[in-house]
Amino acid sequence: MNRIEHIIGGQMTAGSSGKTQAVYNPATGEQSAEVVLGGQTEINAAVEAAKAAFENWSSTPPARRGRLMIALHGIMNARRDEIAQTISAEHGKTHDDALGEVTRALEVVEFAAGIAAHLQGDFSREVGPGIDTCAERQALGVVAGITPFNFPSMVPLWMIPMAIACGNTFVLKPSERDPSSANLIFDLFKEAGLPDGVLNVVHGGKGAVDAVLDHPDIQAVSFVGSTPIAEYVYTRGCAAGKRVQALGGAKNHMIIMPDADLDQAADALMGAGFGSAGERCMAISVAVPIGEETADALVAKLAPRVAALKIGPSTDETAEMGPVITAEARKRIKGCIDAGEKEGAKVVVDGRGLKLQGYENGFWMGGTLLDHVTKDMSVYKTEIFGPVLSVLRADNYGQAVDLINAHEYGNGTAIFTRDGDAARDFTNRIKVGMVGVNVPIPVPVATHSFGGWKRSSFGAHGIYGPEAVHFYTRLKTVTTRWPTGIRAGAQFTFPSMG
C-alpha cells in the first residue's frame, strides 16, 4: 500500500503518532494509499526545521527568491499533466478541470516571481532637519497554511509562493482526503532549488491543526475550508496572538435578468453549477431568475442539459464532471436534496440514483436541478458542495439583491444582463466579495486578491496578490538622522520633525 508521509526539513518521515487514514480513488471507491496523521510532535519538528531555515532564507535577496519562482514555473509547466493526474487520482475531477487548477496556481507563481517590486519600500528625505524616514516590509518568520480537499494543488499554491517569496518559511497542513498533491508540490519546489526547511508538509486532521494554532513560533496562519472550521481557526489562532486569514464556505447566487441572453446564462450555470461536481467555493449553487417568464424559460433550457450531463472518471476525456470526494460526502449531499424535496422544492432532475457501469463502487452523483426553492428551506440556507443547482424565483431585481445581501455567505455572485444600469447598481450594492457581470465564476487573477465577505471570510486580508504581500510581511519604519553633527538639544515635548 502506497504510504504518504510528512516532509520535514527536506526528509520524508512517518512521524511518531502511528496513526494513518485511508485515501481513496473516488472514481472506483478503492483505497489507493494511506496517509500518516501527525500531531503536536510532527508540527513541533516542522516548526523547528522552518525556524532553522528562516535566517538564511529571509536574507536571500528578494530577486533571487523571485528567480526560484521562475524556475518553479518552468518545472510546473513541464509537469502540468502529472500534477493534474495527481489531483484527479484522489479528488476525482476531470483532467481538463485539474489542468485549469494548475494554470491558476501558475498565475500565483508568476506574481510571486516579481516579489522584489512588491517588497520595495518607501523613502522620504528631510522629514526634519537631516532626518530621513524609510518604510519597509519584513518577513514574519514561520507561517502555516491549512488547506481543503477541493483544490489540493491550487489552494496550497495560493499561499506558499507568496509566503516564501516574501521571505517566510512555511509549514503546510494539507487536506487528509487528497494529500499526494502536497508532496508533489514539495518535489517541484525542491527541483527548483528551494533549500531544505523552507517548506515543510505535515499531514493530519484536527490534531495537527490544533498544534499549528497553539504553536508559539508560528506567526501567521492562512486557512481555506468550511465556515465552521474557518471560524474556529480564526478564533483560536487570534487568541494565540497570531495573524490569521480564514476563508470559509459559500452559497453563490446568479441573478438572471429578463433581458439576459438566456443561452449564455444557461451555459454559464451548467459550468459554474456542475463543473468539479459543484465542489468549488465559487460554484454557482443558486440561480435567481427575475420573473416567472424568465424562470420558466431558464428551467426549460437547463433541465435537459442537467439530465444529459456527461459524468465519468478523469481518464474519460469527454466527461464534464467526475465523482464527489467520498462516500460520506455523497450521503450528505443526497440528504440535502431529500430535505429540500420534503420542504417543497420541485426535483426537476434527480441525480441521487446515478450508477456508472464499470465503476459501481465509485462515489458518483448525477446532476440535480431543484426548482421553486424558497429562502426558508435548508437546501437554500446551507452550503451543499455538490452537483446541485437550486432555482429560486424572484419577482423583481430588488428582491433578488435583498435575498443575496441577507445570506450569511458572501463569497461570489454574478448578474447576467444587458442592462448597464442594473449591472452597475448590482456591483455597488451587493454585499459579496467577488462579483461577476456576465461572468459566472469571478475568481480574481493573481495580480488582484481573492476573498469573500460576511461568513465566507474571517480576517482582514484577501489571499494571494497584493493583499498577500501585506499579510505575509510586517511594516517597519526607520527614522534616521545624518549627519550626526546637527544638535537639537534635549527636547521634552513630543518630538515633531519639521
Within 360-419, the residues that bind ligand NAD by CB under 6 A are 383, 385, 411
Question: Within 13 Å and on the Cβ side, how many CA atoms surround 325?
Answer: 24
The CB-of-56 to ligand NAD minimum distance in angstroms stands at: 29
C-alpha cell at 120: 520595495
Reduced to 3 states (helix: H, G, I; strand: E, B; else coil), residue 3 is strand
441 forms part of the interface with ligand NAD (CB under 6 A): no
* One-letter identity of residue 375: K
Considering the complex, state which of residue 15 and residue 167 has its C-beta at the smaller distance from ligand NAD.
15
Contact 352, 368 (CB under 8 A): yes
Provide the minimum distance between the beta carbon of 155 and ligand NAD in the complex, in angstroms, as a whole number: 6
Binding of residue 147 to ligand NAD (CB under 6 A):
yes
Beta bridge partners of 481: 131
- How far apart are the C-alpha atoms of 250 and 457, rounded to whole Å? 9
Other C-beta atoms within 10 Å of 304: how many? 9
Interface residue with ligand NAD, options 39, 66, 145, 148 (CB under 6 A): 148
166 is catalytic: no
What's the maximum distance between 2 C-alpha atoms anywhere in the chain? 88
Which entry of 134, 166, 238, 281 is annotated as an active-site residue? 281
Question: Among residues 200 and 411, whose Cβ is nearest to ligand NAD?
Answer: 411
Residue number, 231 or 267, with CB nearest to ligand NAD: 231
Stretch binding ligand NAD (CB under 6 A), from 49-57, 114-122, 159-167, 246-254: 246-254
Contacts of 493 (CB under 8 A, 6+ apart): none
Interface pick for ligand NAD out of 58, 153, 175, 245 (rule CB under 6 A): 175
- Which listed residue (456, 465, 467, 468) binds ligand NAD by CB under 6 A? 456
Stretch that binds ligand NAD, among 40-48, 126-134, 222-230, 481-489 (CB under 6 A): 222-230
3-state secondary structure (DSSP) of residue 146: strand
Closer to ligand NAD by Cβ: residue 192 or 281: 281
Contact 191, 78 (CB under 8 A): no
Q: Cβ 113 to ligand NAD, closest distance in Å?
A: 23
Stretch of residues binding ligand NAD (CB under 6 A), selected from 52-60, 67-75, 204-212, 388-396: 204-212
- What kind and span of H or E run contains 119? none
Specify the stretch interacting with ligand NAD by CB under 6 A; choose among 62-70, 223-231, 258-266, 390-398.
Answer: 223-231
Q: How many residues bind ligand NAD (CB under 6 A)?
A: 27
Minimal distance in Å, beta carbon 90 to ligand NAD?
12
Residues 35-94 close enough to bind ligand NAD by CB under 6 A: none
The grid coordinates listed for 365 are 452523483
DSSP string computed for 328-347: HHHHHHHHHHHHHHHTT-EE
Give the integer Cα–Cα distance in Å for 284 and 13.
Answer: 40
Rule CB under 6 A: is residue 143 a binding residue for ligand NAD?
A: no
The one among 152, 440, 452, 465 contacting ligand NAD by CB under 6 A: 452
In 375-414, which positions are buried (b, 16+ CB within 10 angstroms) versus exposed (e)?
eebebbebbbbbbbbbbbbbeebeebbebbeebebbbbbb
Q: Which residues bind ligand NAD (CB under 6 A)?
A: 146-151, 155, 173, 175-176, 205-206, 209, 224-226, 229, 247-250, 281, 383, 385, 411, 452, 456
| Catalytic residue IDs | 281
